[in-house]
Structure 1
Amino acid sequence: MYEEIVQLKIVAPDGKNRETDMASMKAIFRMIQSIPSPKAEPFKQWLAKVGQERIEEIQDPERAIFRAEKIYEQKGYNDEWVAKRMRGINIRNTLTDEWKDRGAREGIDFAILTNEIYKGTFEMNAKQIKDYKNLDNPDNLRDHMDEMELILTMLGEATTTRISKNKNSDGFKSLQKDAKIGGKIAGNTRKQIENKTKQKVLRKENYLNNTQKKKLK
Protein backbone atom coordinates (compact mmCIF):
# COMPACT_ATOMS: atom_id res chain seq x y z
CA MET A 1 0.00 0.00 0.00
CA TYR A 2 2.71 2.45 0.98
CA GLU A 3 4.41 2.01 -2.37
CA GLU A 4 1.53 4.09 -3.75
CA ILE A 5 2.74 7.12 -1.80
CA VAL A 6 4.81 9.57 -3.82
CA GLN A 7 6.56 12.78 -2.87
CA LEU A 8 5.80 15.95 -4.77
CA LYS A 9 7.08 19.44 -4.19
CA ILE A 10 4.31 21.71 -2.91
CA VAL A 11 4.47 25.27 -1.64
CA ALA A 12 4.72 25.09 2.16
CA PRO A 13 3.45 27.72 4.65
CA ASP A 14 6.92 29.26 4.65
CA GLY A 15 6.61 29.87 0.90
CA LYS A 16 9.22 27.29 -0.10
CA ASN A 17 8.68 24.22 -2.25
CA ARG A 18 8.99 21.19 0.00
CA GLU A 19 8.54 17.49 -0.73
CA THR A 20 5.18 16.32 0.59
CA ASP A 21 3.70 12.83 0.79
CA MET A 22 0.89 12.42 -1.75
CA ALA A 23 -1.41 9.54 -2.65
CA SER A 24 -4.47 8.83 -4.73
CA MET A 25 -7.90 8.98 -3.11
CA LYS A 26 -8.16 5.20 -3.39
CA ALA A 27 -4.83 4.72 -1.59
CA ILE A 28 -5.84 7.14 1.17
CA PHE A 29 -9.09 5.25 1.75
CA ARG A 30 -7.16 1.98 1.98
CA MET A 31 -4.81 3.53 4.54
CA ILE A 32 -7.76 4.68 6.63
CA GLN A 33 -9.17 1.15 6.60
CA SER A 34 -5.85 -0.22 7.88
CA ILE A 35 -5.56 2.19 10.83
CA PRO A 36 -6.30 0.31 14.11
CA SER A 37 -7.04 3.46 16.11
CA PRO A 38 -10.62 4.09 17.35
CA LYS A 39 -10.26 7.62 15.99
CA ALA A 40 -10.40 6.16 12.48
CA GLU A 41 -13.70 4.38 13.18
CA PRO A 42 -15.99 7.24 11.99
CA PHE A 43 -14.16 7.28 8.67
CA LYS A 44 -14.46 3.49 8.36
CA GLN A 45 -18.18 3.68 9.07
CA TRP A 46 -18.55 6.38 6.44
CA LEU A 47 -16.68 4.26 3.88
CA ALA A 48 -18.92 1.30 4.68
CA LYS A 49 -22.01 3.49 4.25
CA VAL A 50 -20.79 4.81 0.89
CA GLY A 51 -20.01 1.26 -0.24
CA GLN A 52 -23.48 0.09 0.76
CA GLU A 53 -25.10 2.98 -1.10
CA ARG A 54 -23.08 2.22 -4.22
CA ILE A 55 -24.20 -1.43 -4.19
CA GLU A 56 -27.81 -0.30 -3.73
CA GLU A 57 -27.46 2.03 -6.72
CA ILE A 58 -26.14 -0.80 -8.89
CA GLN A 59 -29.11 -2.95 -7.87
CA ASP A 60 -31.59 -0.10 -8.33
CA PRO A 61 -30.29 2.79 -10.53
CA GLU A 62 -33.22 4.99 -9.51
CA ARG A 63 -31.63 5.29 -6.08
CA ALA A 64 -28.65 7.03 -7.68
CA ILE A 65 -30.94 9.57 -9.32
CA PHE A 66 -32.78 10.19 -6.06
CA ARG A 67 -29.53 10.65 -4.11
CA ALA A 68 -28.14 12.99 -6.76
CA GLU A 69 -31.26 15.14 -6.54
CA LYS A 70 -30.97 15.33 -2.77
CA ILE A 71 -27.29 16.25 -2.93
CA TYR A 72 -27.99 19.09 -5.36
CA GLU A 73 -30.83 20.35 -3.16
CA GLN A 74 -28.57 20.25 -0.09
CA LYS A 75 -25.99 22.31 -1.98
CA GLY A 76 -28.60 25.01 -2.54
CA TYR A 77 -29.79 24.42 -6.10
CA ASN A 78 -33.46 25.15 -6.76
CA ASP A 79 -35.95 22.54 -7.98
CA GLU A 80 -36.10 23.86 -11.55
CA TRP A 81 -32.33 23.75 -11.95
CA VAL A 82 -32.15 20.25 -10.44
CA ALA A 83 -34.83 18.99 -12.84
CA LYS A 84 -32.87 20.29 -15.83
CA ARG A 85 -29.59 18.94 -14.49
CA MET A 86 -31.06 15.48 -14.01
CA ARG A 87 -32.57 15.59 -17.49
CA GLY A 88 -29.19 16.63 -18.82
CA ILE A 89 -27.52 13.67 -17.12
CA ASN A 90 -30.01 11.33 -18.78
CA ILE A 91 -29.37 12.88 -22.21
CA ARG A 92 -25.63 12.70 -21.62
CA ASN A 93 -25.80 9.02 -20.66
CA THR A 94 -27.83 8.25 -23.78
CA LEU A 95 -25.21 10.01 -25.89
CA THR A 96 -22.23 8.26 -24.32
CA ASP A 97 -23.97 4.90 -24.70
CA GLU A 98 -24.32 5.65 -28.41
CA TRP A 99 -20.68 6.67 -28.64
CA LYS A 100 -19.57 3.49 -26.91
CA ASP A 101 -21.74 1.29 -29.12
CA ARG A 102 -20.45 3.04 -32.25
CA GLY A 103 -16.75 2.68 -31.55
CA ALA A 104 -15.69 5.62 -29.38
CA ARG A 105 -13.48 4.92 -26.39
CA GLU A 106 -14.26 6.20 -22.93
CA GLY A 107 -11.82 8.84 -21.79
CA ILE A 108 -9.94 10.64 -24.53
CA ASP A 109 -12.46 9.98 -27.33
CA PHE A 110 -15.39 11.07 -25.18
CA ALA A 111 -13.51 14.21 -24.15
CA ILE A 112 -12.73 15.16 -27.75
CA LEU A 113 -16.30 14.54 -28.89
CA THR A 114 -17.71 16.52 -25.96
CA ASN A 115 -15.41 19.41 -26.76
CA GLU A 116 -16.67 19.42 -30.35
CA ILE A 117 -20.19 19.95 -29.00
CA TYR A 118 -19.03 22.64 -26.57
CA LYS A 119 -17.09 24.46 -29.28
CA GLY A 120 -20.05 24.41 -31.62
CA THR A 121 -22.43 25.53 -28.89
CA PHE A 122 -20.38 28.12 -26.99
CA GLU A 123 -17.33 28.67 -29.23
CA MET A 124 -15.14 27.39 -26.38
CA ASN A 125 -13.98 23.96 -25.27
CA ALA A 126 -14.52 22.65 -21.74
CA LYS A 127 -11.24 24.03 -20.37
CA GLN A 128 -11.85 27.45 -21.89
CA ILE A 129 -15.34 27.59 -20.42
CA LYS A 130 -13.95 26.63 -17.00
CA ASP A 131 -11.34 29.35 -17.29
CA TYR A 132 -14.01 31.82 -18.38
CA LYS A 133 -16.08 30.95 -15.31
CA ASN A 134 -12.97 30.93 -13.10
CA LEU A 135 -13.47 27.28 -12.10
CA ASP A 136 -10.83 24.90 -10.81
CA ASN A 137 -9.97 21.83 -12.86
CA PRO A 138 -11.76 19.29 -10.58
CA ASP A 139 -15.01 21.32 -10.66
CA ASN A 140 -17.86 19.79 -12.63
CA LEU A 141 -18.55 22.35 -15.33
CA ARG A 142 -22.24 21.60 -15.68
CA ASP A 143 -22.83 22.03 -11.96
CA HIS A 144 -21.86 25.66 -12.50
CA MET A 145 -24.01 26.31 -15.57
CA ASP A 146 -27.24 28.23 -15.36
CA GLU A 147 -30.48 26.85 -16.78
CA MET A 148 -30.04 28.30 -20.28
CA GLU A 149 -26.48 26.99 -20.53
CA LEU A 150 -27.71 23.55 -19.47
CA ILE A 151 -30.55 23.63 -22.00
CA LEU A 152 -28.21 24.47 -24.88
CA THR A 153 -25.80 21.76 -23.79
CA MET A 154 -28.68 19.29 -23.74
CA LEU A 155 -29.77 20.45 -27.19
CA GLY A 156 -26.29 19.91 -28.60
CA GLU A 157 -25.98 16.44 -27.09
CA ALA A 158 -29.51 15.28 -27.91
CA THR A 159 -29.10 16.49 -31.49
CA THR A 160 -25.78 14.70 -31.80
CA THR A 161 -27.37 11.47 -30.58
CA ARG A 162 -30.17 11.71 -33.12
CA ILE A 163 -27.79 12.49 -35.98
CA SER A 164 -25.60 9.49 -35.16
CA LYS A 165 -28.63 7.22 -34.98
CA ASN A 166 -30.10 8.50 -38.24
CA LYS A 167 -26.78 8.18 -40.08
CA ASN A 168 -25.92 4.92 -38.34
CA SER A 169 -22.48 6.41 -37.76
CA ASP A 170 -19.61 4.08 -37.05
CA GLY A 171 -16.17 4.94 -35.72
CA PHE A 172 -14.63 7.98 -34.09
CA LYS A 173 -14.26 10.12 -37.22
CA SER A 174 -17.94 9.80 -38.11
CA LEU A 175 -18.98 10.52 -34.54
CA GLN A 176 -16.74 13.58 -34.50
CA LYS A 177 -18.53 14.95 -37.57
CA ASP A 178 -21.87 14.32 -35.86
CA ALA A 179 -20.71 16.13 -32.72
CA LYS A 180 -19.63 19.14 -34.76
CA ILE A 181 -23.03 19.30 -36.45
CA GLY A 182 -24.91 18.86 -33.17
CA GLY A 183 -22.84 21.58 -31.54
CA LYS A 184 -23.33 23.92 -34.49
CA ILE A 185 -27.11 23.52 -34.32
CA ALA A 186 -27.08 24.37 -30.60
CA GLY A 187 -24.69 27.23 -31.35
CA ASN A 188 -27.07 28.68 -33.94
CA THR A 189 -29.84 28.57 -31.35
CA ARG A 190 -27.57 30.38 -28.88
CA LYS A 191 -26.84 33.09 -31.43
CA GLN A 192 -30.55 33.60 -32.09
CA ILE A 193 -31.20 33.95 -28.36
CA GLU A 194 -28.36 36.44 -28.02
CA ASN A 195 -29.60 38.40 -31.02
CA LYS A 196 -33.08 38.73 -29.54
CA THR A 197 -32.07 39.36 -25.92
CA LYS A 198 -28.95 41.43 -26.64
CA GLN A 199 -27.21 39.43 -23.92
CA LYS A 200 -24.55 36.74 -23.94
CA VAL A 201 -25.85 33.31 -22.99
CA LEU A 202 -22.58 32.04 -21.55
CA ARG A 203 -21.91 33.91 -18.34
CA LYS A 204 -18.84 34.29 -16.19
CA GLU A 205 -20.87 33.80 -13.02
CA ASN A 206 -20.82 30.52 -11.13
CA TYR A 207 -24.54 29.66 -11.11
CA LEU A 208 -24.72 28.40 -7.52
CA ASN A 209 -22.70 31.27 -6.07
CA ASN A 210 -24.79 33.76 -8.03
CA THR A 211 -28.01 32.19 -6.72
CA GLN A 212 -26.76 32.30 -3.14
CA LYS A 213 -25.83 35.97 -3.51
CA LYS A 214 -29.37 36.76 -4.68
CA LYS A 215 -30.81 35.03 -1.61
CA LEU A 216 -28.66 37.16 0.68
CA LYS A 217 -29.95 40.43 -0.79
Structure 2
Amino acid sequence: MQLVSGIFHLPFTNLITALTMVPHPAFQIFIDMVEGYMPMPEYDRQLCYDHMEVIHVPKGTVLEAPGNIPQHLYFICGGYLRNFHVNAEGKEVTADLGGPGRFFTSYTHFANRTFSNETIECLTDATLLRVNQKSNEYLYAHGSIIKEFTIQLFSQLMELDKQRVEELTTLTAEQRYLNFMETHPGMLQNVPLQHIASFLGINPGSLSRIRANLVA
Protein backbone atom coordinates (compact mmCIF):
# COMPACT_ATOMS: atom_id res chain seq x y z
CA MET A 1 0.00 0.00 0.00
CA GLN A 2 1.27 3.47 -0.92
CA LEU A 3 0.59 6.81 0.77
CA VAL A 4 0.35 9.74 -1.65
CA SER A 5 -0.49 13.27 -0.41
CA GLY A 6 -2.06 11.88 2.73
CA ILE A 7 -4.31 9.44 0.84
CA PHE A 8 -3.80 5.69 0.91
CA HIS A 9 -3.68 4.08 -2.54
CA LEU A 10 -3.73 0.37 -3.23
CA PRO A 11 -1.56 -0.91 -6.07
CA PHE A 12 -3.77 -1.17 -9.16
CA THR A 13 -4.05 -4.98 -9.17
CA ASN A 14 -4.95 -5.05 -5.48
CA LEU A 15 -7.46 -2.24 -5.97
CA ILE A 16 -9.26 -4.20 -8.70
CA THR A 17 -9.39 -7.25 -6.43
CA ALA A 18 -10.76 -5.20 -3.54
CA LEU A 19 -13.44 -3.61 -5.71
CA THR A 20 -14.64 -6.93 -7.08
CA MET A 21 -15.08 -8.20 -3.52
CA VAL A 22 -17.62 -5.48 -2.68
CA PRO A 23 -21.13 -6.77 -3.42
CA HIS A 24 -23.46 -4.59 -5.46
CA PRO A 25 -26.02 -2.69 -3.31
CA ALA A 26 -28.79 -4.63 -5.08
CA PHE A 27 -27.75 -7.71 -3.12
CA GLN A 28 -28.64 -6.02 0.17
CA ILE A 29 -32.23 -5.59 -1.03
CA PHE A 30 -32.33 -9.32 -1.70
CA ILE A 31 -30.72 -10.20 1.65
CA ASP A 32 -33.17 -7.98 3.53
CA MET A 33 -36.06 -9.80 1.84
CA VAL A 34 -34.64 -13.22 2.73
CA GLU A 35 -34.07 -12.15 6.34
CA GLY A 36 -37.73 -11.26 6.56
CA TYR A 37 -38.18 -15.05 6.60
CA MET A 38 -35.01 -16.28 8.35
CA PRO A 39 -31.41 -15.22 9.13
CA MET A 40 -29.08 -15.54 6.13
CA PRO A 41 -25.60 -16.90 6.98
CA GLU A 42 -22.53 -15.37 5.38
CA TYR A 43 -21.91 -18.62 3.49
CA ASP A 44 -25.27 -18.32 1.72
CA ARG A 45 -24.67 -14.67 0.99
CA GLN A 46 -21.37 -15.50 -0.68
CA LEU A 47 -23.04 -18.20 -2.77
CA CYS A 48 -25.52 -15.60 -4.01
CA TYR A 49 -22.74 -13.11 -4.79
CA ASP A 50 -21.03 -15.80 -6.84
CA HIS A 51 -24.05 -17.18 -8.70
CA MET A 52 -26.46 -14.25 -9.13
CA GLU A 53 -25.92 -11.42 -11.59
CA VAL A 54 -26.97 -7.76 -11.32
CA ILE A 55 -28.44 -6.27 -14.51
CA HIS A 56 -29.89 -2.86 -15.32
CA VAL A 57 -32.50 -2.94 -18.09
CA PRO A 58 -34.47 -0.14 -19.77
CA LYS A 59 -38.23 0.16 -20.02
CA GLY A 60 -39.69 -1.99 -22.80
CA THR A 61 -37.01 -4.70 -22.61
CA VAL A 62 -38.28 -8.23 -23.25
CA LEU A 63 -36.48 -10.45 -20.74
CA GLU A 64 -38.06 -13.74 -21.82
CA ALA A 65 -39.79 -14.21 -25.18
CA PRO A 66 -42.58 -16.70 -26.00
CA GLY A 67 -41.68 -19.90 -27.79
CA ASN A 68 -38.56 -20.41 -25.68
CA ILE A 69 -37.59 -22.10 -22.44
CA PRO A 70 -37.21 -19.32 -19.83
CA GLN A 71 -33.51 -18.86 -19.10
CA HIS A 72 -33.54 -16.93 -15.83
CA LEU A 73 -35.28 -16.39 -12.52
CA TYR A 74 -35.32 -12.68 -11.65
CA PHE A 75 -35.41 -10.83 -8.34
CA ILE A 76 -36.70 -7.27 -8.72
CA CYS A 77 -34.57 -4.76 -6.81
CA GLY A 78 -36.15 -1.77 -8.53
CA GLY A 79 -38.74 -1.32 -11.27
CA TYR A 80 -41.81 -3.21 -12.47
CA LEU A 81 -42.25 -6.29 -14.68
CA ARG A 82 -45.17 -7.92 -16.46
CA ASN A 83 -45.88 -11.52 -17.50
CA PHE A 84 -48.42 -11.86 -20.30
CA HIS A 85 -49.59 -14.16 -23.08
CA VAL A 86 -51.66 -13.62 -26.22
CA ASN A 87 -55.01 -15.43 -26.23
CA ALA A 88 -56.88 -17.04 -29.15
CA GLU A 89 -58.48 -13.68 -30.01
CA GLY A 90 -55.08 -12.03 -30.29
CA LYS A 91 -55.45 -10.03 -27.07
CA GLU A 92 -52.72 -9.70 -24.45
CA VAL A 93 -53.68 -11.23 -21.10
CA THR A 94 -51.64 -10.11 -18.09
CA ALA A 95 -50.94 -13.13 -15.89
CA ASP A 96 -48.68 -11.44 -13.34
CA LEU A 97 -47.29 -8.06 -12.30
CA GLY A 98 -44.22 -7.65 -10.12
CA GLY A 99 -42.49 -4.84 -8.27
CA PRO A 100 -39.51 -4.41 -5.92
CA GLY A 101 -38.84 -7.27 -3.53
CA ARG A 102 -40.36 -10.03 -5.68
CA PHE A 103 -39.07 -12.97 -7.65
CA PHE A 104 -40.40 -13.07 -11.20
CA THR A 105 -40.40 -15.44 -14.17
CA SER A 106 -42.61 -18.00 -15.94
CA TYR A 107 -42.23 -20.25 -12.90
CA THR A 108 -43.59 -23.57 -14.21
CA HIS A 109 -41.72 -23.37 -17.50
CA PHE A 110 -38.49 -22.25 -15.83
CA ALA A 111 -38.60 -25.08 -13.28
CA ASN A 112 -39.66 -27.82 -15.72
CA ARG A 113 -37.52 -26.59 -18.67
CA THR A 114 -40.55 -26.44 -20.98
CA PHE A 115 -41.36 -24.01 -23.77
CA SER A 116 -43.37 -21.01 -22.63
CA ASN A 117 -46.11 -19.04 -24.38
CA GLU A 118 -45.50 -16.12 -22.02
CA THR A 119 -43.55 -12.87 -22.36
CA ILE A 120 -41.67 -11.24 -19.49
CA GLU A 121 -41.21 -7.51 -20.13
CA CYS A 122 -40.01 -4.44 -18.23
CA LEU A 123 -42.73 -1.86 -17.71
CA THR A 124 -40.17 0.60 -16.31
CA ASP A 125 -36.40 0.83 -16.12
CA ALA A 126 -35.40 -1.95 -13.74
CA THR A 127 -32.53 -3.21 -11.61
CA LEU A 128 -32.64 -6.98 -11.29
CA LEU A 129 -30.75 -9.90 -9.85
CA ARG A 130 -30.94 -12.89 -12.14
CA VAL A 131 -29.91 -16.52 -11.87
CA ASN A 132 -29.93 -19.22 -14.54
CA GLN A 133 -31.28 -22.72 -14.02
CA LYS A 134 -27.90 -24.36 -13.40
CA SER A 135 -26.86 -21.77 -10.81
CA ASN A 136 -30.30 -21.87 -9.22
CA GLU A 137 -30.01 -25.63 -8.73
CA TYR A 138 -26.52 -25.17 -7.26
CA LEU A 139 -27.80 -22.59 -4.76
CA TYR A 140 -30.69 -24.88 -3.85
CA ALA A 141 -28.37 -27.85 -3.31
CA HIS A 142 -25.50 -26.15 -1.48
CA GLY A 143 -27.00 -23.24 0.46
CA SER A 144 -27.58 -23.88 4.16
CA ILE A 145 -30.94 -22.04 4.24
CA ILE A 146 -31.75 -21.41 0.56
CA LYS A 147 -33.72 -24.64 0.12
CA GLU A 148 -35.87 -23.95 3.19
CA PHE A 149 -36.32 -20.31 2.16
CA THR A 150 -37.33 -21.30 -1.38
CA ILE A 151 -39.92 -23.77 -0.09
CA GLN A 152 -41.44 -21.13 2.20
CA LEU A 153 -41.40 -18.47 -0.51
CA PHE A 154 -43.06 -20.55 -3.21
CA SER A 155 -45.60 -21.89 -0.74
CA GLN A 156 -46.54 -18.27 -0.09
CA LEU A 157 -46.69 -17.53 -3.82
CA MET A 158 -49.02 -20.49 -4.35
CA GLU A 159 -51.31 -19.18 -1.62
CA LEU A 160 -51.35 -15.75 -3.25
CA ASP A 161 -52.25 -17.32 -6.61
CA LYS A 162 -55.04 -19.29 -4.95
CA GLN A 163 -56.31 -16.12 -3.28
CA ARG A 164 -56.29 -14.28 -6.62
CA VAL A 165 -58.35 -17.02 -8.29
CA GLU A 166 -60.85 -16.87 -5.42
CA GLU A 167 -61.09 -13.09 -5.70
CA LEU A 168 -61.77 -13.32 -9.45
CA THR A 169 -64.78 -15.53 -8.76
CA THR A 170 -66.13 -14.08 -5.50
CA LEU A 171 -65.42 -10.32 -5.47
CA THR A 172 -66.92 -7.56 -7.57
CA ALA A 173 -64.70 -5.64 -9.97
CA GLU A 174 -64.67 -2.67 -7.59
CA GLN A 175 -63.69 -4.86 -4.63
CA ARG A 176 -60.84 -6.40 -6.63
CA TYR A 177 -59.54 -2.97 -7.58
CA LEU A 178 -59.79 -1.67 -4.00
CA ASN A 179 -57.82 -4.69 -2.77
CA PHE A 180 -55.21 -4.06 -5.46
CA MET A 181 -54.92 -0.40 -4.44
CA GLU A 182 -54.33 -1.40 -0.83
CA THR A 183 -51.79 -4.15 -1.46
CA HIS A 184 -49.92 -2.72 -4.49
CA PRO A 185 -49.91 1.10 -4.19
CA GLY A 186 -46.66 1.47 -6.13
CA MET A 187 -48.12 -0.18 -9.20
CA LEU A 188 -50.78 2.48 -9.63
CA GLN A 189 -48.06 5.00 -10.50
CA ASN A 190 -45.92 2.67 -12.62
CA VAL A 191 -48.16 0.17 -14.43
CA PRO A 192 -50.44 1.22 -17.33
CA LEU A 193 -54.12 0.99 -16.44
CA GLN A 194 -54.92 -1.52 -19.19
CA HIS A 195 -52.43 -3.99 -17.72
CA ILE A 196 -53.92 -3.61 -14.24
CA ALA A 197 -57.39 -4.14 -15.71
CA SER A 198 -56.26 -7.30 -17.50
CA PHE A 199 -54.57 -8.64 -14.36
CA LEU A 200 -57.74 -8.05 -12.34
CA GLY A 201 -60.03 -9.50 -15.01
CA ILE A 202 -61.81 -6.18 -15.52
CA ASN A 203 -62.74 -4.46 -18.79
CA PRO A 204 -60.57 -1.31 -19.12
CA GLY A 205 -63.65 0.86 -19.64
CA SER A 206 -65.26 -0.57 -16.52
CA LEU A 207 -62.11 0.08 -14.51
CA SER A 208 -62.03 3.69 -15.69
CA ARG A 209 -65.62 4.13 -14.47
CA ILE A 210 -64.78 2.50 -11.13
CA ARG A 211 -61.86 4.89 -10.67
CA ALA A 212 -64.01 7.87 -11.59
CA ASN A 213 -66.69 6.85 -9.08
CA LEU A 214 -64.11 6.45 -6.32
CA VAL A 215 -62.91 10.04 -6.68
CA ALA A 216 -66.36 11.56 -7.27
TM-score range, shorter chain: under 0.3
Relative to the length of structure 2, the TM-score reads 0.24
Relative to the length of structure 1, the TM-score reads 0.24
Q: Could you say which structure has the greater relative contact order, defined with CA pairs below 8 angstroms and 6 or more residues apart?
A: 2
Q: Which has the higher strand share?
A: 2
Q: Which has the higher helix share?
A: 1
